[in-house]
């Protein structure tokens, strides 16, 4: 083999689950130019090494294909990640409030402290949200905004003053400002029945300047890498403007700083102007334009606002207006004529059935003929609708929203109705295309292992058992939902999703053996090494010397400085970050910490005082 064809990277000494049915197991891989050059045993792969090849012994660790999230909001989330205090994975309200108090102490005026989704009241031992009195006691002067799912937001008195909500502020359409006996807002905002009031209020907060947004997006991607995510499909999002809000991710793509592959869908901008949006976009954008790191993926998840059935299970199911079909048909015709695939948000089967009437009508005149279109969420989809989706060649992208809202669903509809919401196993058995994701960050957490745990155990983050065995998946099937099966939804079948020769070289070395750990430990897995396109984008533990540097989070008061990721705050040494002791899957213990990696990485050592050490590198002078 000539030097021009020698591998850039060899990983060996591993127990690899490739998901390649022709070679399900391997010990080593050779990677060149971002793709798997060779997958096989140690001897055969190591023989390919040249003088410039980087060779890493994985010391008996398990290896999986990189995880791909079929529905998330990385572009929007990245713009704000460094400003957000995350309660994802925190197990007690007391700990969450301690985190909040600490963040209030370092947040300068006029900045807000925001907790924007990713948690459920049922995950807390106390099984409740904080009271408004508790928020005002912790933060008398600093605005605090807490978004809980898409059902409510809590604002302290300072936040109410900041957004200008007073006695004379009217309720917006579809939302309610809760008031006291005198008619003054209490600080509770309710989505009745849609989340527009929550979106609009959050949008009133200060924003990061462009350079800080670049830094923020890099830190969000690094957190995803820390959990083994190598690809996402971005579903757009409310109050996310195109192309303005895409400039940060474009800049990072142009500068080769993306550490997560991103396929993006275009989300319509304004009610009653959806047709104009898609007419304009199909003239000015090309489906699949871009490359393997940043690429256009079609339309959605919002196609028309009249079809948006938000999943607030604390409220009755919303009926879509009579103009839904006409609005939707106009947009789908444009997409089908221009050969643009689409994704459509749909929680309830009633909405799905009406949408399918439209799709079938358009298909009779403009055959879809292989377009990769699909429904998102589909919690209550019926057998009949599953068959109709399959007949039209579509797919169903499910997310683990029920892991966060299952208790609320059961309260309204009962345990029996929740047993197949969504009916994942039945969809898979029917042969319909199906894959998994998170819908992060404003509802569920971005943590893929919580989704995998939900698929396998059928339990919510609060511990409620939702699904009987027949609606749960075995571990390999669940993993394929996060890897191989996602590729169809971004039209990349055969290009990624397995560890196979010729495919994109994306993989993760998990902190414990996904196939060997206890059910209860799946949600606590993280990554010890994540590789995207043959580049190591994250490494920890025994492989920390390979971890690429990243500038500290900006601004200097960012919660990311002290909250180093999912359930890993310096003041909450939670177990959820990693599986400890024997469950970690280590080939051997290190000489300092043994197997107690979670305790070591969460320790409040002096070098962890990022605010003190890096304080000169950030400021709040941009605050407006």
Residue 583 scores a pLDDT above 60 = no
Do 341 and 217 belong together in one domain?
A: yes
8 A C-beta contact, residue 464 and residue 406: yes
Work out whether strand 28-32 and strand 9-12 pair parallel, antiparallel, or are unpaired. antiparallel
Do 352 and 225 belong together in one domain?
A: yes
Report how many domains make up the chain: 3
Do 317 and 449 belong together in one domain?
A: yes
Please indicate, yes or no, if residue 14 is contained in any of the structural domains. Answer: no
Please indicate, yes or no, if residue 363 is contained in any of the structural domains. Answer: yes
**Digit-coded pLDDT (tens) for 117-151:** 999 999 999 999 999 999 999 999 999 999 999 99
Do 242 and 165 belong together in one domain?
A: no
CATH number of the domain enclosing 171: 3.10.310.70
Please indicate, yes or no, if residue 20 is contained in any of the structural domains. Answer: no
- Residue 406, phi then psi, degrees to nearest 5: -60, -40
Work out whether strand 527-532 and strand 507-510 pair parallel, antiparallel, or are unpaired. antiparallel
Please indicate, yes or no, if residue 515 is contained in any of the structural domains. Answer: no
- Residue finishing a domain among 152, 174, 204: 204
pTM of the predicted model, to two decimals? 0.91
pLDDT (0 to 100) of residue 2: 57
**Digit-coded pLDDT (tens) for 441-457:** 999 999 999 999 999 99
Closest residue by Cα to residue 159 from 130, 188, 190, 180? 188
Do 123 and 223 belong together in one domain?
A: no
pLDDT (0 to 100) of residue 1: 56
Of the chain, the percentage scoring pLDDT greater than 70 comes to 90
Residue 568 scores a pLDDT above 70 = no
8 A C-beta contact, residue 261 and residue 231: yes
| 83 contact partners, CB below 8 Å, separation of at least 6 | 111, 112, 114, 205, 206, 208, 216, 558, 559
Average pLDDT (91-95) is 97
Do 194 and 220 belong together in one domain?
A: no
Do 236 and 381 belong together in one domain?
A: yes
Do 139 and 285 belong together in one domain?
A: no
Question: For 340, what's the count of Cα atoms within 13 Å in the CB-facing half-sphere?
Answer: 29
The residue range of the domain holding 586 is 576-617
Residue 617 scores a pLDDT above 50 = no
Do 109 and 131 belong together in one domain?
A: yes
- Residue finishing a domain among 204, 235, 252: 204
Coil vs helix vs strand at 33: coil
Work out whether strand 294-299 and strand 261-266 pair parallel, antiparallel, or are unpaired. parallel
Please indicate, yes or no, if residue 116 is contained in any of the structural domains. Answer: yes
- pLDDT bucket at 610, cuts 50 / 70 / 90: very low
**Digit-coded pLDDT (tens) for 184-229:** 999 999 998 888 999 999 999 999 999 999 999 999 999 999 999 9
| 490 contact partners, CB below 8 Å, separation of at least 6 | 68, 231, 233, 263, 295, 297, 372
Please indicate, yes or no, if residue 568 is contained in any of the structural domains. Answer: no
**Digit-coded pLDDT (tens) for 325-354:** 999 999 999 999 999 999 999 999 999 999
Please indicate, yes or no, if residue 416 is contained in any of the structural domains. Answer: yes
| 516 contact partners, CB below 8 Å, separation of at least 6 | 62, 585
Alpha-carbon span 8 to 381, nearest angstrom: 47
Do 311 and 386 belong together in one domain?
A: yes
- Residue finishing a domain among 204, 232, 250: 204
Do 199 and 217 belong together in one domain?
A: no
DSSP letter string over 380-442?
T--HHHHHHHHHTT-EEEEETTHHHHHHHHHHHH-HHHHTTSS-HHHHHHHT-EEEEE--BTT
Do 110 and 198 belong together in one domain?
A: yes
pLDDT (0 to 100) of residue 311: 87
Please indicate, yes or no, if residue 133 is contained in any of the structural domains. Answer: yes
**Digit-coded pLDDT (tens) for 544-562:** 999 999 999 999 999 999 9
């Amino acid at each position: 083999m000539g030097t021009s064809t020698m591998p850039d990277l060899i990983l060996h000494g591993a127990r690899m689950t490739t998901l390649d049915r022709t070679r399900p197991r391997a010990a080593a891989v050779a990677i060149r130019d971002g793709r798997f050059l060779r997958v096989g045993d140690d001897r055969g792969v190591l023989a390919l090494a040249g003088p410039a090849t980087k060779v890493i012994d994985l010391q008996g660790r398990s290896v999986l294909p990189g995880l791909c999230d079929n529905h998330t909001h990385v572009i929007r989330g990245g713009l704000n990640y460094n400003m957000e205090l995350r309660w994802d994975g925190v197990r007690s309200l007391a700990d969450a409030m301690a985190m909040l108090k600490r963040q209030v102490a370092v947040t300068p005026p006029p900045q807000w402290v925001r907790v924007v989704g990713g948690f459920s009241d049922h995950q807390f031992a106390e099984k409740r949200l904080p009271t408004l009195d508790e928020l005002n006691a912790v933060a008398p002067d600093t605005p605090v905004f807490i978004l809980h799912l898409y059902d409510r937001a809590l604002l302290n008195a300072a936040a109410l003053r900041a957004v200008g909500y007073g006695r004379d502020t009217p309720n917006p359409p579809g939302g309610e400002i809760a008031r006291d006996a005198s008619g003054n807002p209490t600080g509770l905002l309710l989505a009745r029945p849609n989340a527009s009031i929550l979106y609009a209020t959050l949008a009133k907060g200060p924003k990061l300047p462009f350079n800080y947004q670049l830094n923020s997006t890099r830190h969000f991607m690094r957190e995803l890498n820390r959990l083994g995510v190598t690809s996402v499909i971005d579903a757009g999002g409310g109050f996310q403007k195109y192309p303005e809000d895409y400039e940060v991710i474009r800049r990072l793509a142009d500068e080769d700083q993306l550490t997560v592959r991103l396929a993006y869908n275009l989300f319509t901008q304004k009610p009653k102007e959806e047709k104009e949006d898609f007419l304009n976009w199909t003239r000015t954008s090309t489906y699949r334009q871009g490359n393997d790191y940043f690429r256009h993926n079609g339309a959605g998840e919002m196609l028309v606002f009249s079809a948006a059935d938000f999943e607030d299970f604390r409220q009755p199911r919303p009926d879509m207006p009579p103009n839904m079909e006409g609005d939707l048909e106009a947009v789908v015709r444009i997409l089908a004529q221009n050969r643009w695939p689409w994704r459509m948000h749909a929680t309830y089967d009633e909405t799905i059935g009406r949408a399918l009437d439209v799709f079938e009508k358009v298909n009779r005149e403009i055959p879809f003929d292989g377009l990769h279109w699909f429904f998102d969420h589909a919690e209550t989809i019926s057998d009949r609708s599953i068959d109709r989706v399959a007949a039209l060649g579509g797919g169903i992208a499910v997310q683990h929203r029920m892991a966060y809202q299952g208790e609320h669903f059961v309260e309204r509809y009962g345990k029996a109705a929740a047993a197949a919401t969504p009916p994942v196993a039945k969809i898979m058995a029917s042969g319909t295309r199906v894959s998994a994701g998170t819908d992060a960050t404003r509802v569920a957490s971005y943590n893929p292992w919580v989704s995998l745990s939900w698929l396998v155990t059928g339990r919510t983050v609060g511990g409620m058992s939702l699904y009987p065995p027949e609606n749960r998946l075995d571990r390999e099937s669940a993993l394929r939902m996060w890897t191989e099966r996602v590729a169809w939804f971004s039209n990349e079948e055969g290009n990624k999703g397995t560890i196979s020769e010729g495919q994109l070289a994306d993989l993760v070395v998990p902190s414990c053996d996904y196939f060997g750990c206890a059910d209860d430990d799946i949600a606590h897995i993280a990554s010890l090494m994540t590789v995207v396109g043959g580049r190591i984008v994250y490494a920890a533990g025994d492989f920390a010397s390979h971890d690429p540097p990243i500038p500290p989070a900006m601004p200097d008061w960012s919660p990311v400085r002290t909250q180093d990721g999912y359930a890993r705050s310096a003041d909450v040494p939670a177990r959820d970050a990693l599986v400890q002791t024997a469950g970690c899957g280590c080939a051997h213990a290190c000489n300092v910490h043994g197997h107690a990696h979670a305790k070591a990485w969460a320790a409040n050592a002096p070098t962890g005082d990022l605010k003190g050490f890096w304080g000169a590198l950030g400021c709040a002078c941009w605050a407006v």
